[in-house]
């Protein structure tokens, strides 16, 4: 089996040289004690856990999958043991509130860890990631008693958590859900209903699981305005925190899935299960988005992580696999053929993977930097600006990184040829695993509507204008040393604003124009944001080379930036034209005509 190597060099390049996380951490309220020594220790430790504990059980987890035995889910060999090591090493609560047993580190440090774990074993990492979403909701909306009773065991890794949103008839339209919450005399609620597609819904890691369940009270108004959020433990929890008997929560089936077989995707039945209201009645959607927004950034990281693992294997294979001769003459004259990395189209596929993975990593890190500032910024204006930028970038991060991540793993499979299509290399598993990232936590289409409708048009593009301003500033900064990049970056900044104004004007006449343009608008936005980050990375790398640095790492950054602007950024023009094409061609055919 091929090795996985945590990309610490590239991570540190972004963290220290491009995005200056050292100064960033120093600017945060109550998080300023994070320094380089601590960050390096965490990066190294998480990298070792990913490489030594998670990567070796990635293939076995896919082959074995989860099993439902007598109503209890059994995870693949090594999964439970990896969880025990994870908890014993202190990873479960690194970003949690210290008042409840967490370590209080910034959100971004948690994301760095999650990237490495998810890249090494996406299926296993679903379990702590779902717990993390539950922690966020409890920390933001829970009462003090709920935090002591439920949040603390999650942070310690003694319990895990889930998000129970989806029902078979509702899908992404959660306003149609039917799960009922009936008030009990003691202030609790009896929860009854069925939820599907519940990741980490049952397993053998711990003795209790906290389900965060969307349900309706008897007097709830219809639609999303009538949804409330409840804590529903798998087993009852006494006031002193002790775990009791079963609580009417049962796993009736495991979904047979295309990928992430080691992640238990459950059908959960709630039969008069005791639940506790989080937040206010009928405010469940607000609470839900506390979970969802963080989860969406993580899903983008998952897509990018699959691409990172696949790129590493494709690159190694392309260097070793001998096939055909270079058109410009033999590059391996003493061998029977040349390594396939010398062939231009293999290099195109490798460059595409490298550009999308490393550019996507920069976008994700910048986005989570905004999450840090939105909560721990030094003053209210900083927090508000960061929150707006976070809202704007989250759908781009989720959808664009998952879309391009799936493209990248397919390029990796193509580099392997037939050897990629069989299970031996593990590439086909990464293709299957990556495919879900385009769907869950809000599909690409949902993210696109959110971006264009809510985050741009309804806000009059305030965050977009700020980001476009940063693009123009970067173009000016690199005009002398990288003029070809600077000129195109300036053009894209202007085009993005013009595209937005045109689509927004069309939407005032017909709201179908938003749906018709949204996905192409999002993809354009993704290519535009990566152009900005590749310009920034290229400037840093070019400065190192100009100072006499001879490291191939920096040469690779400049070359990849030039490849991105020459070969990938032109895709944005096709998306721009499609977004401007309007809804007419989409709506011209009656249903019967399809």
How many angstroms separate the CA atoms of 156 and 89, rounded? 11
How many angstroms separate the CA atoms of 355 and 367, rounded? 18
Among the options 308, 358, 441, 544, which is catalytic? 441
Buried b / exposed e across 305-314, counting CB within 10 Å, b at 16+? bbbbbbbbbb
Q: What is the pLDDT of residues 206-249, one digit of tens each?
A: 999 999 999 999 999 999 999 999 999 999 999 889 999 999 99
Residues sharing a CB contact under 8 Å with residue 378, sequence separation 6 or more, in sequence order: 27, 28, 29
Tokens of 361: 């990593």
Mean pLDDT of 315-322: 97
Mean pLDDT of 261-283: 97
How many angstroms separate the CA atoms of 97 and 102, rounded? 5
Beta partners for residue 415, in sequence order: none
Mean pLDDT of 558-579: 98
Q: What is the pLDDT of residues 87-146, one digit of tens each?
A: 999 999 999 999 999 999 999 999 999 999 999 999 999 999 999 999 999 999 999 999
Q: What fold characterizes domain 8-141+148-156?
A: Butyryl-Coa Dehydrogenase, subunit A; domain 1 (1.10.540)
How many angstroms separate the CA atoms of 113 and 104, rounded? 14
Q: What is the pLDDT of residues 481-497, one digit of tens each?
A: 999 999 999 999 999 99
Is a pLDDT exceeding 80 seen at residue 1?
Answer: no
How many angstroms separate the CA atoms of 538 and 564, rounded? 11
CB 215 within 8 A of CB 193: yes
Q: What is the pLDDT of residues 170-189, one digit of tens each?
A: 878 888 999 999 999 999 99
| CATH no. of 160-283 | 2.40.110.20
What does the pLDDT read at residue 288?
83
How many angstroms separate the CA atoms of 417 and 364, rounded? 31
Q: What is the pLDDT of residues 426-462, one digit of tens each?
A: 999 999 999 999 999 999 999 999 999 999 999 999 9
Beta partners for residue 162, in sequence order: 211
**Alpha-carbon torsion (396, 398, 403, 405), positive or negative:** positive
What does the pLDDT read at residue 175?
86
Residues sharing a CB contact under 8 Å with residue 593, sequence separation 6 or more, in sequence order: none
**CA 326 to mean position of chain CA atoms:** 39
Q: How far is CA 181 from CA 62, 270, 274, in A?
A: 37, 10, 9
**CA-based max dimension of the chain:** 84
Q: What is the pLDDT of residues 331-350, one digit of tens each?
A: 999 999 999 999 999 999 99
Beta partners for residue 273, in sequence order: 191
CA neighbours closer than 13 Å in the CB half-sphere of residue 570? 5
What does the pLDDT read at residue 286?
87
Q: What phi and psi, each to the nearest 5 degrees, are found at residue 445?
A: -65, -40
Q: What is the pLDDT of residues 337-385, one digit of tens each?
A: 999 999 999 999 999 999 999 999 999 999 999 999 999 999 999 999 9
Residues sharing a CB contact under 8 Å with residue 568, sequence separation 6 or more, in sequence order: 352, 355, 356, 527, 530
Burial class (CB in 10 A: 0-12, 13-18, 19+), 335: exposed
Domain boundaries, the chain: 8-141+148-156, 160-283, 460-585
CB 350 within 8 A of CB 314: yes
Is 160-283 the same fold as 8-141+148-156? Answer: no
Residues sharing a CB contact under 8 Å with residue 477, sequence separation 6 or more, in sequence order: 539
How many angstroms separate the CA atoms of 225 and 211, rounded? 21
Q: Indicate if 441 belongs to the active site.
A: yes
Express as a percent the part of the chain with pLDDT over 90: 94
Residues sharing a CB contact under 8 Å with residue 403, sequence separation 6 or more, in sequence order: 303, 438, 444, 523, 526
Tokens of 279: 């937040």
Mean pLDDT of 34-59: 96
CB neighbours of residue 559 within 10 Å:
16
**Nearest CA-CA partner of 136 in 242, 292, 4:** 292
CA neighbours closer than 13 Å in the CB half-sphere of residue 272? 1
Confidence of residue 464 (pLDDT cuts 50, 70, 90): very high
How many angstroms separate the CA atoms of 499 and 516, rounded? 14
């Amino acid at each position: 089996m091929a090795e996985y190597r945590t990309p610490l060099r590239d991570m540190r390049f972004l963290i220290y040289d491009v995005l200056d996380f050292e100064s960033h951490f120093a600017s945060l309220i109550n998080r300023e004690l994070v320094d380089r020594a601590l960050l390096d220790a965490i990066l190294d430790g998480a990298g070792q856990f990913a490489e030594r504990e998670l990567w070796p059980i990635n293939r076995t987890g896919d082959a074995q999958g989860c099993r439902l035995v007598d109503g209890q889910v059994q995870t693949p060999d090594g999964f439970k043991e990896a969880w025990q090591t994870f908890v014993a090493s202190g990873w479960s609560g690194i970003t949690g509130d210290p008042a409840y047993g967490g370590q209080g580190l910034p959100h971004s440090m948690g994301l760095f860890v999650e990237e490495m774990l998810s890249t090494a074993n996406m299926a296993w990492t679903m379990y702590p990631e779902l717990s993390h979403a539950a922690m966020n909701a409890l920390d933001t909306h829970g009462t003090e008693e709920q935090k002591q009773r439920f949040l603390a065991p999650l942070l310690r890794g003694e319990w895990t958590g889930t998000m129970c949103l989806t029902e078979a008839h509702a899908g992404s339209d959660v306003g149609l859900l039917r799960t009922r919450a009936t008030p009990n005399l003691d202030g609790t609620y009896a929860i009854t209903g069925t939820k599907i597609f519940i990741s980490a819904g049952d397993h053998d890691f711990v003795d209790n699981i906290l389900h965060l369940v969307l349900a309706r009270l008897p007097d709830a108004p219809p639609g999303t305005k009538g949804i409330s959020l409840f804590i529903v433990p798998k087993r009852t929890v006494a006031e002193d925190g002790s775990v009791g008997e079963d609580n009417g929560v049962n796993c009736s089936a495991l979904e047979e899935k295309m990928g992430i077989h080691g992640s238990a995707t459950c059908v959960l039945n709630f039969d008069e299960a005791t639940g506790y209201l989080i937040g206010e009645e009928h405010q469940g959607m607000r609470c839900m988005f506390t979970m969802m927004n963080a989860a969406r950034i993580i899903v983008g990281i998952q897509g990018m992580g699959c691409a990172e693992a696949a790129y590493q294997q494709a690159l190694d294979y392309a260097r070793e696999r001998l096939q055909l001769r270079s058109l410009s003459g033999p590059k391996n004259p003493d061998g029977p053929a040349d390594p396939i990395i010398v062939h231009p189209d293999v290099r195109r596929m490798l460059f595409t993977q490298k550009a999308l993975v490393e550019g996507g990593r920069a976008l994700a890190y910048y986005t989570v930097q905004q999450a840090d500032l939105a909560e721990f910024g030094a003053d209210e204006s900083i927090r508000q600006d960061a929150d707006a930028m976070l809202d704007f970038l989250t759908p781009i991060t989720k959808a664009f990184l998952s879309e391009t991540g799936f493209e990248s793993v397919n390029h990796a499979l193509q580099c392997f040829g037939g050897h990629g299509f069989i299970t031996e290399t593990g590439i086909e598993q990464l293709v299957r695993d990556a495919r879900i990232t385009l769907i869950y936590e809000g599909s690409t289409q949902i993210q696109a509507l959110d971006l264009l409708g809510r985050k741009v048009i309804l806000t009059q593009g305030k965050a977009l204008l700020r980001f476009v301003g940063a693009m123009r500033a970067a173009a000016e900064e690199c005009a002398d040393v990288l003029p070809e990049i600077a000129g195109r970056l300036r053009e894209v900044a202007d085009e993005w604003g013009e595209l937005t104004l045109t689509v927004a004007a069309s939407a005032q006449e017909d709201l179908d124009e938003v749906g018709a343009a949204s996905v192409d608008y999002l993809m354009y936005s993704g290519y535009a944001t990566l152009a900005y980050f590749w310009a920034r990375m290229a400037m840093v790398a070019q400065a190192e080379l100009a100072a006499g640095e001879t490291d191939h790492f920096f040469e690779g950054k400049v070359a990849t930036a030039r490849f991105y602007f020459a070969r990938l950024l032109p895709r944005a023009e096709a998306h721009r034209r499609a977004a401007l094409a309007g809804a007419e061609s989409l709506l011209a055919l009656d249903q019967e005509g399809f």
